[in-house]
Structure 1
Amino acid sequence: MSVVFACVDADTLGGVQQVTHTLAQGLAERGHEVHVIGLHRAAAPFRYVERPRYHHHVVSRRTLAEPGHVLARRRADRRLKELLRRIRPGYAVMTSPSVVARMSRLLPSAFRPIGQYHGSYDHASACWHLGSIKKHYPALDQAVFLSEDDAWRFAEHALLPNARALPNPLPVWPEEVSALQAPRVLGVGRLEGVKRFDRLISAFARSDVPRPWELHLIGDGAERERLRAHAAGEGVGDRVVFRGLLPAACLAREYLDASIVCLTSEHEGLPIVLLESAAHGVPSVAFDVSGGVRQAGSVLVPPGDVDAFAAELARLAASAAERRRLGADARARAEAFRLDHVLDRWESMFAHIDR
């Protein structure tokens, strides 16, 4: 049996894409025939796996942002159907409501359809996602969510009889942990509005964490210059360091050089940054926006409460002992997200579907 993962765009920098390539490589290394399909070309492709053991396909040469037309969509659908016909029967993992809505009707009958959702129930209910999930996911063999809390809420409130929790995996398990001595707060992610790094900068400024503490932001995006101006306006322009986009292989060093990791997104499912920081023994402060964040975060504050965030940031910066306690607890909890454990759960789900 083969395993197909399909994304709207499989190669842009993002959590969905990182998880997809991690799972694809892990399952391929276990002997499965694995295919990753991007329905659209990435405008700026990011390489997640240096030596992939899975097959990779891009259906449309257009990026998601480029205008399309009905004929182009039909041609792309024909290419997708032809591609699927050439792949051995197996499981088709569709990674978002958009992919499920488009692709499930094109699947050959030999494929067992599985729909993922990488967000939280709260985020889905605040936008069009919940309606699409209610419409399309009940007919699938399995609907997969990132936490037990979210799976339960979708089952109860969206009336999904096929809901199941499967967490995001850690790509690797580090043997080395941070000493938690460097005066550095770390934020990792796309510099886009939904990540709300402006709130993190404001919290860092209001925390009155003394020099030589700095806030390092790793990532790039459309908000970079606005965030730089915001840092200057908050009086911390010389202490907020914009590091840009780094290769995935370099991130381990960044966690080892950090003492606190922060997450201020408007919404998240199960953020990889919290799992990776926890695995490196680094405590985190995060807005309590989902069951996944509650699984992985060290210190949670009410969503959007910048003053509460600043207070917790100051508390951790002032106490190396508290950082060590929370970091050790985070690493112990992160064991459940090691890749082999998560792959075992995927294979268990495949066996359950076959029964």
Structure 2
Amino acid sequence: MTVVFACMDADTLGGIQQVTHTLAQGLAGRGYDVHVVGLHRAAAPFRYVEAPRYRHHVISPEPVGPQSPRARRRADERLAALLGPMQAGFAVLTSPGVVTRLTSLLPRSLRPVGQYHGSYEHARGCWHLGSITRHYPKLDQAIFLSEDDAWRFSEDALLPNTWTLPNPLARWPLEVSGLDTCRVLGVGRLEGIKRFDRLISAFARAAPSPPWELHLIGDGAELERLRAHAVREGVGDRVVFRGRVPAADMPGEYLKAAIVGMTSEHEGLPVVLLESAAHGVPAVAFDVSGGVRSAGPVLVPAGDVAAFAVELARLMGSVRERRRLGAAARARAGAFRLDHVLDRWESLFAHLAR
């Protein structure tokens, strides 16, 4: 059976791309003919899988952005030439933009499945909800990351075809963090929606003096602004900007961490929370979605920096509490192991094939 994963671009550093490559490698390992299709070239490609068992295609040489009519026609021709000969299976369209772009171009042999990697709360606050409401009911299935999100889309957006499939862990670590280092870890793109300024502010309130440090892994347009913000908060010498870290090196980062912090404006089901939990590292996160809740961090009201700082300080002050919460997080993360999630994908395929 063929499985195609289509992304606006498939190689940018981001959650959609990481999950796509993880699922593609896993399903290919189970014998599926898997293709990952990026509709556009990534401006700064990131390698997720060292030895992929699936095939990878980039349709347009330009990064995501407006296309001329000629470039759009050429892209459509390339897509038709790629998808047309494929054997029967499923096309997993990973975002509302991909659904609207690709649905009409799919051959009859590929049944369309729409993913949404965000939360209902995020969709409601932007154009996504309108697009999902218009286009996802026409698909064979609409997939969401948590039972809560699937239920809300079903009830509020009147979607008749919702299904829940969580993000998977690419690997299950055998080693867990000792949680005795004085390090808080933040992971993600240094962009506005991640609101690392709030994490820096909360860290400054929770740990106004050494030895605790905050390490931020990722790059992006907010780097210099966040550096300046750390200085203003009085922790410029204890906020360490690490830049990009290869995917293969991330387990070592979790093993050196005592706490993970997540202060995003919105999230679906962040892989960072799953990975940290699998390494036995407790997390503090804003309560912004059903997906975040399902990962089991210490929850704080969205945007409440003072409350976030209180929880950080509580965990900083007790290695015993960190270990208790870390063990509970690891037990909960077992449900997101790759084999379990792949089993659920195969159940979906069997359901649609009936």
Determine if the TM-score, normalized by the shorter chain, exceeds 0.5.
yes
Residue 86 of structure 1, CA deviation: 2.4
Structure 1 counterpart of 2:172, one-letter code:
W
Backbone CA RMSD of aligned residues: 0.8
Paired position in structure 1 for 2:274 = 275
- For 1:223 and 1:18, the matched residues in 2 are separated by 22
CA contact (8 A) 2:208 2:235 kept: no
Paired position in structure 2 for 1:179 = 178
Taking only the aligned residue pairs, the percentage that are identical comes to: 74
CA contact (8 A) 2:86 2:109 kept: no
Paired position in structure 2 for 1:3 = 3
1:122-161 counterparts in 2 under 5 A? Answer: 122-161=121-160
Residue 154 of structure 1, CA deviation: 0.5
Residue 77 of structure 1, CA deviation: 1.2
- For 2:140 and 2:155, the matched residues in 1 are separated by 18
SS in 2 for 1:151: helix
Paired position in structure 2 for 1:344 = 343
CA contact (8 A) 2:262 2:285 kept: yes
Paired position in structure 2 for 1:207 = 206
CA contact (8 A) 1:185 1:213 kept: yes
CA contact (8 A) 1:277 1:284 kept: yes
Q: Deviations over 1:196-226 (max 9, x none)?
A: 0000000001113541100000011110011
- For 1:153 and 1:304, the matched residues in 2 are separated by 22
CA contact (8 A) 1:265 1:287 kept: yes
CA contact (8 A) 2:40 2:61 kept: yes
Residue 75 of structure 1, CA deviation: 1.5
- For 2:233 and 2:87, the matched residues in 1 are separated by 57
Matched, 1:63 2:63: yes
Q: Which moved more, 1:163-172 or 1:81-90?
A: 81-90
Q: Deviations over 1:291-330 (max 9, x none)?
A: 0000113200000000000000000000111101100000
Paired position in structure 1 for 2:31 = 31
Structure 2 counterpart of 1:300, one-letter code:
L
- For 1:303 and 1:129, the matched residues in 2 are separated by 21
Structure 2 counterpart of 1:118, one-letter code:
H
Q: TM-score normalised to the size of structure 2?
A: 0.99
Paired position in structure 2 for 1:216 = 215
- For 2:81 and 2:310, the matched residues in 1 are separated by 56
Residue 98 of structure 1, CA deviation: 0.3
- For 1:245 and 1:260, the matched residues in 2 are separated by 19
Matched, 1:191 2:190: yes
- For 1:40 and 1:87, the matched residues in 2 are separated by 21
- For 1:75 and 1:254, the matched residues in 2 are separated by 43
1:263-342 counterparts in 2 under 5 A? Answer: 263-342=262-341
Residue 89 of structure 1, CA deviation: 1.9
Structure 2 counterpart of 1:161, one-letter code:
P
Matched, 1:167 2:166: yes
Q: TM-score normalised to the size of structure 1?
A: 0.99
Count of aligned pairs between the two proteins: 354
SS in 2 for 1:62: coil
Structure 2 counterpart of 1:328, one-letter code:
A
Paired position in structure 1 for 2:42 = 42
CA contact (8 A) 1:285 1:297 kept: no
SS in 1 for 2:121: helix
CA contact (8 A) 1:264 1:287 kept: yes
Structure 1 counterpart of 2:230, one-letter code:
A
SS in 1 for 2:61: strand
CA contact (8 A) 2:144 2:150 kept: yes
Q: Which moved more, 1:82-91 or 1:97-106?
A: 82-91
Paired position in structure 2 for 1:53 = 53
Structure 2 counterpart of 1:45, one-letter code:
P
- For 1:249 and 1:341, the matched residues in 2 are separated by 22
SS in 1 for 2:5: strand
- For 1:236 and 1:127, the matched residues in 2 are separated by 34
Paired position in structure 2 for 1:106 = 105
Structure 1 counterpart of 2:30, one-letter code:
R
Paired position in structure 2 for 1:237 = 236
CA contact (8 A) 1:259 1:282 kept: yes
Stretches of structure 2 that go unaligned for 5 or more consecutive residues are none
- For 2:256 and 2:183, the matched residues in 1 are separated by 7
Q: Deviations over 1:55-114 (max 9, x none)?
A: 10001011114x421221121112111110122221000000000011011111111110
SS in 1 for 2:31: coil
SS in 2 for 1:86: coil
